[in-house]
Structure 1
Amino acid sequence: MKPKTLITTASLWLILSNCTPSTPPQSSDLGNTPSPIADARQRPSDSPTLWSDGFAQTNWREAWNIRSYGSWGLDEVEVIADPSGKFSRIMRVRYPEGSASPSVSRSQGVALGGTQFYADLGLPPRDALHLSYYVRFSDDFDFVKGGKLPGLFGGKSVSGGNIPDGTDGFSTRFMWRRQGDGEVYAYLPTSENYGTSIGRGAWQFQPGTWYHVEQEVVLNQPDQKDGQIRVWIDGKKVLDRDGLQFRTTDKLKIEGIFFSTFFGGGDPSWSTPKDVYADFAQFSVSPVQTE
């Protein structure tokens, strides 16, 4: 009779401790995981509206209180009934074939498309403001390399390569980029040569679809870099950026809407290859519920 083999608890532990696992443990990909957008301040859906316009008035320009300087392209703007039926009336802005930015139009002689104006809305300047509106690009819209969309502003050094010095201006226009990628295109004292791209690709536009875009700007304390920009697309927060510097003096404030939209861009390669348009609807501004 063969002797029985006895395996004690101690020997079993030694055997198991020397075994090599058949598959190595999986490494953590925390470094490649996008960090969630902070929700310290949610979309202020219950904030009172300071101003709004759905283009119901015959002379909509009066409601916007457009400033006397810096306007162009108003002949490319038309207020019409909304063909989609989502809104009663909308603003349609046309971009003719070959059109580009004002600088390209001046230097290259190409068509000037889109429009631009400054509107203070009849409101006093503020340190924080929430902008809301709807935009839709025509079904055949080609985004090419990019173009501008309305945002907020203060002062006069807000575009065209005029970098503000902290006392004379800032702006926070939206942009569309290639394939409809969205971003905030801000003119800040920290910008170099042209505007600063913030959050490029955090959302994407598609032709023929209405988008509800919202932008919240909180100016920094003059001696700190604690300014904030937040963006919602169709109610979803897609951008939350802190640590920004808009100004170095508390005399510089948010003055209103910088309605600026065109293809470009600093050369003809940004031009639209065909006649297209964008529709805008239901603009409003609200106070920011600061903590």
Structure 2
Amino acid sequence: DVRPGVIVKSALLVLTTDKQYGGNTSKIGVYQPLLPWAQPTSLERGLASDFVLDRNIEADPSVIFVERFESWRWRSAWSDYDESGDAETVEERSDGGEPLDGKALKVTIRKGKTQGLNMHYRFAQSGGLEPEEVYFRYYLRFGESWDPVIEGGKLPGLAGTYGRAGWGGRKPDGRNGWSARGSFFTMPRQAGPLSNFRGVGSYLYEVGMASAYGEILGWGLGPSGALEKNRWYSIEQQVRMNHPGKKDGVLRAWVDGKLVFEKTDVLYRTVLDLRIESVWMNVYHGGTQPAHKDMSLFIDNIVVARKYIGPMAGNHR
């Protein structure tokens, strides 16, 4: 075990055998491990690089939806909002960190509860067409209180559940629904160099998955999905629907403009009727176990577009 406060710079792996048969000398070959998170990835700049602090980003023809949480009427822009959650806009320093740019949405999972946020932006209900491909970027900060020790849970993503399948053990069959939310993981239980980081990834409901519940997929490329508490990150996800019946759907994720996850063989559907129905803003603890204490995270500067968005330009906290 690594002692608290000790940073490992090198390690020696020793292999031993309990039994060895035959009198000949055995040779063991060991390949150098190729760690995806140790490989450099380049910063990808998108359409947001042309707009300082996302100001007037709505003018880009590829942009579908923008939410900055500056108006007290912010809920009215969303197709639905579940009152069982706990979300409010805040502007001042809160839970160990600074605001990103003006107001942000503070989402709290209360002790003994599971729901922090559950709302949708539904493309068809908002006057548009359900897309075949979309990019969804938001800024995320885990507060000082964000310490999930019992279970992980769900974070915002994209979906096409149509109220039929793709969540809660409702298994996709290619005709009923799908979802690709984000996920957060339980925190490290031992003190160490990563004790202040919280892991995130994807939570995918697709056709042919082994379990009735979604697949948890870690973000292991580039800087990975290890996010430090009290720091703002640009989180972007892309979904491209597969050709019906073909395993060629796409799910990608970027953290601060660097690719951290890519899956290009997703089977979202077998029929053309299923598309990208909504942006699903979901913050949920579990599983089934409730939070052991109040835990808060912060969301700001949501942009949904037909092209890659990338981190916003300009100085921000």
User: Do Structure 1 and Structure 2 share a fold, with TM-score over 0.5?
Assistant: yes
1:176 and 1:205 in contact (8 A); partners too: no
2:145 and 2:294 in contact (8 A); partners too: no
2:219 and 2:261 in contact (8 A); partners too: no
Note the residue ranges of structure 1 that are not aligned, 5 or more in a row: 1-26, 101-112
**What TM-score do the two structures reach when normalised by structure 2?**
0.70
Higher mean C-alpha displacement, 148-157 vs 213-222: 148-157
Paired letter, 2:231: T
Q: Name the SS for the 2:140 alignment partner.
A: strand
Structure 2 counterpart of 1:177: 185
Matched, 1:256 2:278: yes
1:231 and 1:237 in contact (8 A); partners too: yes
- Flag the structure with higher helix content: 1
Structure 2 counterpart of 1:167: 175
Note the residue ranges of structure 2 that are not aligned, 5 or more in a row: 1-28, 49-59, 188-197, 309-317
Structure 1 counterpart of 2:7: none
Structure 2 counterpart of 1:21: none
Structure 2 counterpart of 1:190: 208
Distance in 1, Cα, partners of 2:36 & 2:67 = 36
Matched, 1:125 2:144: no
Distance in 1, Cα, partners of 2:45 & 2:215 = 24
Q: CA deviation at 1:82?
A: 4.8
1:142 and 1:272 in contact (8 A); partners too: no
Structure 1 counterpart of 2:11: none
Structure 2 counterpart of 1:59: 73
Structure 2 counterpart of 1:15: none
Distance in 2, Cα, partners of 1:97 & 1:141 = 12
**What TM-score do the two structures reach when normalised by structure 1?**
0.75
Paired letter, 2:301: Q
Paired letter, 1:115: L
Query: Matches of residues 11-22 of structure 1 in structure 2 within 5 Å?
Result: none
Percent sequence identity over aligned pairs: 27
Paired letter, 1:29: Y
Structure 1 counterpart of 2:8: none
Q: CA deviation at 1:280?
A: 0.7
Aligned residues: 243
Give the greater-gyration-radius structure (CA): 1
- 1:125-145 alpha-carbon deviations (Å, 9 max, x no partner): 011100000111111221223
Structure 2 counterpart of 1:218: 240
Structure 1 counterpart of 2:5: none
Q: CA deviation at 1:200?
A: 5.0
Match of 1:139 among 135, 144, 150: 144
2:78 and 2:119 in contact (8 A); partners too: no
Matched, 1:116 2:118: yes
Match of 2:156 among 129, 150, 153: 150
- 1:252-272 alpha-carbon deviations (Å, 9 max, x no partner): 100221111121113x3xx32
Change (3 A) 1:255 1:44: farther
- RMSD, matched Cα: 2.6
Paired letter, 2:177: G
Paired letter, 2:271: T
Q: Name the SS for the 2:285 alignment partner.
A: coil
Paired letter, 1:33: L
Distance in 2, Cα, partners of 1:82 & 1:168 = 43
Distance in 1, Cα, partners of 2:92 & 2:35 = 38
Higher mean C-alpha displacement, 229-238 vs 157-166: 157-166
Q: Name the SS for the 2:77 alignment partner.
A: helix
Structure 1 counterpart of 2:102: 88
Structure 1 counterpart of 2:89: 79
Distance in 2, Cα, partners of 1:64 & 1:285 = 13
Distance in 1, Cα, partners of 2:31 & 2:183 = 32
Distance in 1, Cα, partners of 2:225 & 2:77 = 31
Match of 1:285 among 283, 304, 308: 304
